[in-house]
């Protein structure tokens, strides 16, 4: 593995993306950044005394009339000019880039694939699964949430991603690989990603 390798994982809720990201971080002997990014961003904004649920709600703020397809004035770095009402997104992007500039890391969500798009050693993956698979995982890991609840979360992620990046969440052209965990075990999916990154770096 090269000295600084960056992996971003985007995923459908219930597909096992978080577990895959954690397995990859272990392989890389580095950290998996998820909600830690939110806390670090909130700290920069002076809001670190808030509970995580409140910080999470702040992170998903968008204009009420947003149709989820446009980000005002975004430049090639993905964060310099963003909607002024949402300072949280700006700070998240800054945190992600600061981490990426000093160490290898795995990033889970947070539009990291777009924030880091100019980094040559960044690899982007999208994890998805069919409804039945996600429904079964929900019984075990997500408090038995219904498919309707899972899809509601996916819609929130999609709208957020589309609005802030100007790209389409889950669009194949945005990722190195898309993996259906209905057909792969979580561990095999992580192995596939690892093999892809190692093969790419060997060329």
Q: How far apart are CA 98 and CA 83, in angstroms?
A: 21
Using pLDDT thresholds of 50, 70 and 90, give the confidence band for residue 58.
low
The reported pLDDT for the residue numbered 77 is 41
Most confident of 55-69, 76-90, 104-118, 137-151: 104-118
The reported pLDDT for the residue numbered 29 is 94
pLDDT top residue among 47 and 133 = 133
CA quadruple 143, 149, 154, 160: dihedral sign: negative
CA quadruple 28, 34, 35, 39: dihedral sign: positive
Q: Which CATH class, in words, describes the domain spanning 6-202? A: alpha beta
pLDDT top residue among 150 and 23 = 23
Between the alpha carbon of residue 164 and those of residues 60, 63, 90, 127, the distances in Å are 10, 11, 10, 20
Mean pLDDT of the 21-37 span: 93
Domain ranges of the chain: 6-202
| pLDDT higher than threshold 90 for residue 38 | no
Phi, psi of 142 (to 5 degrees): -125, 35
Nearest Cα to 82, choosing from 120, 114, 42, 128? 114
Using pLDDT thresholds of 50, 70 and 90, give the confidence band for residue 50.
low
Q: Do the strands 31-33 and 105-108 form a parallel or antiparallel pair, or are they unpaired?
A: parallel
């Amino acid at each position: 593995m090269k000295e600084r390798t960056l992996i971003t994982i985007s995923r459908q809720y219930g597909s096992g993306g978080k577990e895959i990201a954690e397995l990859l971080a272990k392989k890389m002997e580095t950290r998996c950044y998820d909600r830690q990014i939110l806390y670090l961003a909130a700290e920069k904004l002076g809001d670190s005394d808030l509970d995580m649920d409140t910080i999470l709600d702040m992170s998903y703020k968008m204009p009420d009339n947003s149709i989820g397809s446009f980000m005002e004035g975004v430049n090639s770095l993905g964060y310099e000019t963003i909607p002024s009402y949402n300072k949280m997104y700006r700070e998240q992007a800054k945190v992600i880039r600061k981490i990426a500039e000093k160490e290898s890391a795995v990033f889970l969500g947070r539009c990291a694939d777009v924030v880091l798009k100019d980094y040559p050693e960044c690899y982007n993956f999208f994890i998805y699964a069919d409804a039945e698979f996600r429904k079964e995982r929900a019984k075990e890991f997500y408090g038995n949430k219904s498919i309707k609840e899972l899809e509601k979360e996916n819609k929130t992620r999609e709208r957020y991603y589309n609005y802030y990046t100007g790209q389409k969440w889950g669009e194949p052209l945005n990722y190195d690989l898309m993996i259906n965990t209905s057909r792969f075990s979580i561990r095999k999916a992580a192995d596939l990603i690892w093999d892809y990154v190692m093969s790419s770096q060997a060329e």
